[in-house]
Structure 1
Amino acid sequence: MASMFSRDRQQRRAGADFIIIGIAVLSLLTLAASGHHYLDGVKAQVTRLGADNSNLVIGLLLLNLALTIYGVRRYSDVRREVIERAAAERGTQTLASTDPLTGFLNRRALGDAIKELLLTAARRRRAVSMMIVDLDGFKTINDVHGHLTGDNLLRATADLLQKALPAHAVGGRIGADEFAVAFLFDPDMASEVEATAHYIVERLGKPFDLAGVHTHVSASVGIARSDHDCGNVDSLMRRADIAMHAAKKLGRGRFTWFDGSMERELRSRNATEAGLRRGIPAGEFIPYFEQQVDLVTGSLHGFEMLARWQHPERGIVVPDEFISVAEECGLIADLSMSVMRQAFEAARGWDPHLTLSVNISPSQLKDPWLAQKMLKLLLETGFSAERLEVEITESCLFENLGLAQSIIGSLKNQGIRIALDDFGTGYSSLAHLRALPFDRIKIDRSFVSSINDNPDSAAIVIAITRLAESLNLAVTAEGIEDELIEARLRAIGSYKGQGWKFGRPIPADAVQRLLAERNLLPVARGGEASRRRVNNRDRLQQGR
């Protein structure tokens, strides 16, 4: 702040010098215009004064000439200094308002520019279109090719946006790989905005040649308009940002207009995240259990654990409403471990022949300490590792197959069985069945529930069953909703099955009553649990 005042004082002083010397030069020019009259008079005076005094007069004239030359030189220097300082000030203002990498405005300067656009739009009866452009896959470019290539990609993106936008558009870089652009448009011609967004998405989806490095990204674009109850900069940018994230969720590489449902969805998502952060340590997330039945004998084989949210106001909330949010905000591991602990403690008192299946999310399978954490949980709860079956989906395996092999190998070494869940839904690969020691395949419910109505579903179920038989893998069929489906499956092969035909998921106390009715609760529960704790401890020590 002090340096700013100093610059102001220097500039005012230079300006004052400039004015004073300008007046002096103006006087000199006036003198020059009438100088011949003055010189004639000086000549006459010198003649009358004589030789001695004439030297004095000539000296004074020379001194006056020297001062005049100095004044002209000083005038030139001050004029140049004023010009240079004004240029430096403009340069400083430019640096303070622009992104040095792309030349686009920064967030603060962009906000000021959009305010001006909004005022212009009001005067001209136009609307302002705001676009947030986010590069999909930019982090991968940085990781694979380095930050220099990433910087080149950002510059190329800025150049492309400048070419794509109307003449008086404003643009800014508001994040690492995020740009914002705004321009005026006729409210009745929204198709013009869509044409611009389409061009941006299409062009950014094509490969870039960046100093010999070939890269490929896509762009997600969110659009908001000022004439839809969005008349200030903050709300305009916020809604465009919400629309951009909606475009990403829809599959990336596309543009989306903002609508009110997106904001409601965002509020719901934020409320869910807040509830997760409060509810996990408070024990609001509890296990429910779905029966798994041997279709050949009809006997109860075990249960699959499913998470439920015992919300203090909404009651029981199903996983579809909170699992994806837990994964996004990094809470899925805490949630899973909390619910598994409760499930292990409950299942510890069941008949020892009953198994328990638990699901592991893709993000959990990225944790190299997952196996140790699960084994520690088994030790602390006294639940037998041989009764546990861990289910993973094949999508978990694509990002880091080596780490998945290590985790699964550690779990298998402790006697835990591994099941491949949702088999047949699009990721299925025989290579994964060969690379990993699976014990079971679970056929997705979408095929099982339509097995009697869709010949393709029936063919897929039969093919998976024959594949599992050839690999000596057990099979579980999900989504058995009625007796006709159960009968069809029995005609195809030997399965363990689950679905609403056998009952809906129930909490731990209801399982306890069900098992008591079927005489599946051991009498000497405490002693048996103690023996299991000892066996688990011995197994863990041997594993180390």
Structure 2
Amino acid sequence: MFAIPIAFFLSAIITWPILAEMELFERFYAYSRAHEDWDLDELVLLIGNLTIALIFSILFQWRRLKKLTAEREMQRQRAEKNARHDPLTGLMNRRAFTSALEKISDPASRPKDRVIAMVDLDRFKPVNDLYGHAAGDATLQTVAQRLSDEVGSDGILARLGGDEFAIIYEGTIDTNQAERISRRILHRMEEAVEFEECRIFISSSIGLVKWNTATPCAEAVRRADKALYTAKKEGRGQFAWYDAELDRQSHARAEIESDLREAILNCDIEPWFQPIIQIESNTLTGFEVLARWNHKSHGQIPPSTFITIAEDSGQIGNLGLSILRQACLAASHWDPKLTISFNVSPYQFHDPQLVDQIKEIVSECDFDARRLTIEVTESSVINDFEVARAKLDALKNIGVAVALDDFGTGYSSLASLRQLPFDRIKIDRSFVTNIAAEPQNQKIVSGIMALASGLELDVTAEGIESSDDLSYLQSLDCSLGQGFLFEKAVPAKQISWLLESKWIDRHVDPLDRGIEPPKDLRDAG
């Protein structure tokens, strides 16, 4: 009689993990209907067997659920670790590093001075190119281990991505300690990395910043990045501290670069004109075109600043063409005997379209190309004389004269003169200003004048600022001159005043003739 309940009990234990509870009780109901003639003791025994089966089933399910919960917790912890740690090096990643910064700078905690270091590897890209990505990964792992050894428990170390690492020094650490650790890191990074049969050599640069935790985290990281940029700019393989003044200058430069494109489009950068004088007759022959930019917030920006930015940002070509177009348009209304000289940047000179662009501008402005002189520096032509010769010949074919600017400052001036078809040379102002008191400069200028005479070239002397400078150049029969002694550069709208006042009779002051200068020229002195 008991064989049937026991069999049912065993069947329930075996099948319980598979069967749903409803299905099991349906089986029990069908079984009980088939045995309606059971006695009370048999029913009690059956219920007892079912209770035991239920307990075993609950225990089984509990153990199974506990195992699943443990596996899910491990997966969660693994996912959290992967989300906060770099899988290659095991260090914190950028997300975890940012969280650590935010925790340290919690407003509830007292602000403290800490040091943040940004570490970036030098010459890392060639490692992947020469040895493969496996070698690159091994190098990064070695770097991470070396950084961990040097930083130890004194700081928080993270890999931000690529070959860039970051350190937050915990506790109180002064600048001397931070610099000592940085020197050790720089030294360790120069040690060879062993990979298979290769020895890989790299170096690193470090940017350091003192961080008061009251300062926003993003600003602290930005300052550390600026310090790192400074270290790389100064030669790599060294550390540099954040410099607020350099940062201010960098910010101003970034603002200028951002405004430069719009300024070019709107012709906010204008041509100014400095007179070029025939020294022997003291007459005006033309002007050199100089760029001037009156920025809306920075005021007058030196050409050396915005021209360098234009070259670095690839906008020098558009800037040069804009200035030349404005200059030709203004000069087209002047006396046809007056010429203009325009300096072309080395970057612009290498543009294959330069000659066509100049030809198009003089045509648009109805400006006689024979009144234009293009000035180039030796750095524009030194790399390939044949290409330079072809371009200079093309300019001369459309009627444009060419001059070698800043003569005497290069290292191959004679080769340039011998091989290239220049019409004129310009003596750099560094040799001319105060020449009467500089015997060495006198010898250099005398030699240049003798060379130019032998090659039948005109000479323009820049930087004439005193009557002594002028007298010495007159004694050498220098043909042309320009400088503050004659006039500073002026905007196009003041050329008429100059022509009417200063170049009608230079021996009579224009105010004595009743000719008053424009207000902006009076304000400029």
Matches within 5 A, 1:313-462: 316-396=300-380, 407-408=391-392, 410-425=394-409, 432=416, 436-462=420-446
Report the TM-score when normalising by structure 1.
0.65
Indicate the residue corresponding to 1:509 in structure 2: 493
> Helix, strand or coil: the match of 1:479?
coil
Matches within 5 A, 1:58-77: none
The answer to whether structure 1 residue 163 and structure 2 residue 149 are counterparts is no
Gaps of 5+ in 1: 1-20, 22-63, 521-544
Residues in 1 aligned to 2:438 and 2:196: alpha-carbon distance in whole angstroms? 53
User: What is the Cα deviation at residue 225 of structure 1?
Assistant: 1.2
> Helix, strand or coil: the match of 1:291?
strand
Paired residue for 1:303, among 287, 293, 300?
A: 287
Residues in 1 aligned to 2:194 and 2:292: alpha-carbon distance in whole angstroms? 50
Indicate the residue corresponding to 1:222 in structure 2: 207
Residues in 2 aligned to 1:449 and 1:487: alpha-carbon distance in whole angstroms? 12
CA-to-aligned-CA distance 1:117-158 (integer Å, 9 cap, x gap): 667xx78x974322334567778x59xx94866995786477
Residues in 2 aligned to 1:176 and 1:403: alpha-carbon distance in whole angstroms? 41
Gaps of 5+ in 2: 1-16, 18-52, 506-525
User: What is the Cα deviation at residue 287 of structure 1?
Assistant: 0.7
Report the TM-score when normalising by structure 2.
0.67
Residues in 1 aligned to 2:408 and 2:122: alpha-carbon distance in whole angstroms? 28
> Helix, strand or coil: the match of 1:500?
coil
Q: Which amino acid aligns with 1:111?
A: T
Residues in 2 aligned to 1:399 and 1:256: alpha-carbon distance in whole angstroms? 35
> Helix, strand or coil: the match of 2:435?
coil
User: Does the CA-based 8 Å contact 2:118-2:206 persist in structure 1?
Assistant: yes
User: Does the CA-based 8 Å contact 1:138-1:217 persist in structure 2?
Assistant: yes
User: Does the CA-based 8 Å contact 2:434-2:465 persist in structure 1?
Assistant: no
Paired residue for 1:109, among 96, 113, 117?
A: 96
> Helix, strand or coil: the match of 2:337?
coil
Matches within 5 A, 1:128-147: 128-133=114-119, 146=129
More helix, by proportion: 1
Residues in 2 aligned to 1:91 and 1:402: alpha-carbon distance in whole angstroms? 65
User: Does the CA-based 8 Å contact 2:407-2:413 persist in structure 1?
Assistant: no
Residues in 1 aligned to 2:216 and 2:297: alpha-carbon distance in whole angstroms? 36
Indicate the residue corresponding to 2:256 in structure 1: 272
The answer to whether structure 1 residue 486 and structure 2 residue 473 are counterparts is no
Matches within 5 A, 1:175-324: 178-184=164-170, 186-187=172-173, 189-198=174-183, 221-227=206-212, 231-247=215-231, 254-312=238-296, 316-324=300-308
> Helix, strand or coil: the match of 1:357?
strand
> Helix, strand or coil: the match of 1:503?
coil
Percent identical residues:
36
For the structure 1 residues 515 and 257, does the alpha-carbon distance in structure 2 shift closer, same or farther, using more than 3 Å as the test?
Answer: same
User: Does the CA-based 8 Å contact 2:404-2:424 persist in structure 1?
Assistant: yes
User: Does the CA-based 8 Å contact 2:396-2:402 persist in structure 1?
Assistant: yes
For the structure 1 residues 206 and 390, does the alpha-carbon distance in structure 2 shift closer, same or farther, using more than 3 Å as the test?
Answer: farther
> Helix, strand or coil: the match of 1:304?
strand
CA-to-aligned-CA distance 1:357-379 (integer Å, 9 cap, x gap): 22223433453333322222222
Indicate the residue corresponding to 1:12 in structure 2: none
Instruction: Point out the structure with max Rg over C-alpha.
Output: 2
For the structure 1 residues 268 and 206, does the alpha-carbon distance in structure 2 shift closer, same or farther, using more than 3 Å as the test?
Answer: farther
Residues in 1 aligned to 2:211 and 2:81: alpha-carbon distance in whole angstroms? 27
RMSD of the TM alignment (CA)? Answer: 4.8
> Helix, strand or coil: the match of 1:301?
strand
User: What is the Cα deviation at residue 102 of structure 1?
Assistant: 6.6
Residues in 2 aligned to 1:113 and 1:306: alpha-carbon distance in whole angstroms? 53
User: Does the CA-based 8 Å contact 2:385-2:420 persist in structure 1?
Assistant: no
User: What is the Cα deviation at residue 224 of structure 1?
Assistant: 1.1
Indicate the residue corresponding to 1:35 in structure 2: none
For the structure 1 residues 148 and 493, does the alpha-carbon distance in structure 2 shift closer, same or farther, using more than 3 Å as the test?
Answer: farther
Residues in 2 aligned to 1:418 and 1:457: alpha-carbon distance in whole angstroms? 25
Residues in 2 aligned to 1:210 and 1:302: alpha-carbon distance in whole angstroms? 67
Residues in 2 aligned to 1:205 and 1:441: alpha-carbon distance in whole angstroms? 49
User: What is the Cα deviation at residue 475 of structure 1?
Assistant: 3.3
> Helix, strand or coil: the match of 2:169?
strand
Residues in 2 aligned to 1:467 and 1:359: alpha-carbon distance in whole angstroms? 23
Residues in 2 aligned to 1:462 and 1:203: alpha-carbon distance in whole angstroms? 56
CA-to-aligned-CA distance 1:466-487 (integer Å, 9 cap, x gap): 5555555543322111111222
Residues in 1 aligned to 2:390 and 2:85: alpha-carbon distance in whole angstroms? 48
Residues in 2 aligned to 1:161 and 1:180: alpha-carbon distance in whole angstroms? 11
For the structure 1 residues 368 and 219, does the alpha-carbon distance in structure 2 shift closer, same or farther, using more than 3 Å as the test?
Answer: farther
User: Does the CA-based 8 Å contact 1:127-1:184 persist in structure 2?
Assistant: no
User: Does the CA-based 8 Å contact 2:389-2:420 persist in structure 1?
Assistant: yes
User: Does the CA-based 8 Å contact 1:161-1:200 persist in structure 2?
Assistant: no
For the structure 1 residues 133 and 365, does the alpha-carbon distance in structure 2 shift closer, same or farther, using more than 3 Å as the test?
Answer: farther
Residues in 2 aligned to 1:271 and 1:373: alpha-carbon distance in whole angstroms? 29
User: Does the CA-based 8 Å contact 2:84-2:93 persist in structure 1?
Assistant: yes
